[in-house]
Amino acid sequence: MNNSRRALVLDAARSVFERLGNEGASIREIARQAGYTPGAIYSYFDNKEAIYGALLAESLERLNAVVDAAGDATMQPAELLDAKASAWFGFYAANPRDLDLGFYLVQGMRSRELTAELNEQLNDRLHDALQPCEAALRAMGLNAEDALRENTSLFAHGVGLLLLQHTGRIHMFGQDAVILFDAYLISLVERLYRDASPA
């Protein structure tokens, strides 16, 4: 199974997903885009879902790469939190197509259902990308439970902002997602400091 040609199909798939969304992306269309007949696609992927899975997996790898590269060892925990959180948020803010992919994972794929195995594997990679924030929160003195809670809230806040931004709803409010996310981070850090050092 020639890997470069598989990649070619995957590129076509990505572009079709971009252009037509998850529902509009058909095997026919992907094949057309790749310059193949539909049957040829099945040399590279077992079925439509596998294509989506591969696309998402690859997106999550890029996300993790960005998160891993963010910050450095010399940083204070609060700085690191900011760096790591801004990394994942920034990745999706800058790459709406990856957001699309991620959203299918989170929203649309309930019915079609990825194989349980793939689903778990993808969940794990998402988890990986969020883990550094949780570690930074712990380094700031939070216990495991609190760190998890704050990290979940942080993730939810980012997700909400990304959704509002990507759908243009945020303009309705005359706001900017990045600024609001930064503000949330600042408030969070302040609150944690205050809670940590009650005179």
Partner DNA sequence: AATGAATGAGCCTTCATTCAT
Partner DNA sequence: CATGAATGAAGGCTCATTCAT
Q: How many CB atoms lie within 10 A of CB 15?
A: 16
Q: How many CB atoms lie within 10 A of CB 129?
A: 23
Least separation, in Å, of the C-beta of 74 and a second copy? 29
* 3-state SS, one letter per residue, for 150-163: HHHHHHHHHHHHHH
C-beta separation of 157 from 184 below 8 A? yes
Report if residue 175 touches a second copy, rule: CB under 8 A.
Answer: yes
Per-residue binding letters, 76-95, with a second copy (x by CB under 8 A): --------------------
Cβ-count burial of 104 within 10 angstroms (0-12 exposed, 13-18 middle, 19+ buried)? buried
Q: Which lies closer to a second copy via its Cβ, residue 69 or residue 167? A: 167
Per-residue binding letters, 8-47, with a second copy (x by CB under 8 A): -------------xxxx-----------------------
Report if residue 21 touches DNA, rule: CB under 7 A.
Answer: no
DSSP secondary-structure letter at 1? -
Report if residue 153 touches a second copy, rule: CB under 8 A.
Answer: yes
Q: Which lies closer to DNA via its Cβ, residue 49 or residue 176? A: 49
Report if residue 100 touches a second copy, rule: CB under 8 A.
Answer: yes
Binding a second copy (rule: CB under 8 A), the pick from 43, 76, 115, 123 is 123
CA dist 134 → 10, 155, 175, 176 (Å): 33, 10, 27, 25
Binding DNA (rule: CB under 7 A), the pick from 18, 21, 42, 107 is 42
Binding a second copy (rule: CB under 8 A), the pick from 8, 160, 182, 189 is 160
DSSP secondary-structure letter at 109? G
127 Cβ neighbours under 8 A, 6+ residues apart: none
CA dist 194 → 100, 110, 130, 148 (Å): 37, 41, 24, 19
Which residues of this chain interact with DNA, rule CB under 7 A?
1-2, 5, 24-29, 31, 35-44, 47-49
Which residues of this chain interact with a second copy, rule CB under 8 A?
21-24, 96, 99-100, 103-104, 106-111, 123, 127, 148-149, 151-153, 155-161, 163-164, 166-170, 172-175, 177, 180, 183-184, 187, 191
